[in-house]
């Protein structure tokens, strides 16, 4: 293999290595975004549960008050 071909081959290999590193970085970013999305979904589910529970409690109290007024 002549020197020019060897140099071109080395340049090509360096570029391929750089692309592999970029793919690894992109993969890491995508995984971080996926984790963040899952965390936010869990937080939203928890808030939704708390709101539903609070709404149920308020409705119960409202029913008790309405019943007590009806008894009078």
For residue range 32-71, list pLDDT tens digits in order: 999 999 999 999 999 999 999 999 999 999 999 988 888 7
Please tell me the distance from the alpha carbon of residue 36 to that of residue 24, in angstroms, as a whole number. Answer: 18
Alpha-carbon distance 37 to 6, whole Å? 47
| Domain residue extents for the chain | 25-72
At residue 72, the pLDDT reads 64
Degrees, nearest 5: CA angle 33-37-42: 150
Its pTM surpasses 0.95: no
Distance (Å, rounded) from C-alpha 68 to C-alpha 57?
17
Give me Rg for the CA atoms of the chain.
Answer: 31
């Amino acid at each position: 293999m002549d020197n020019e071909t060897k140099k071109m081959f080395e340049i090509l290999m360096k570029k391929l290595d750089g692309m592999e590193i970029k793919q690894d970085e992109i993969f890491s970013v995508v995984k971080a975004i996926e984790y963040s999305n899952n965390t936010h979904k869990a937080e939203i589910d928890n808030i939704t549960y708390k709101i539903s529970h609070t709404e149920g409690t308020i409705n119960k109290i409202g029913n008790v008050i309405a019943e007590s007024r009806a008894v009078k």
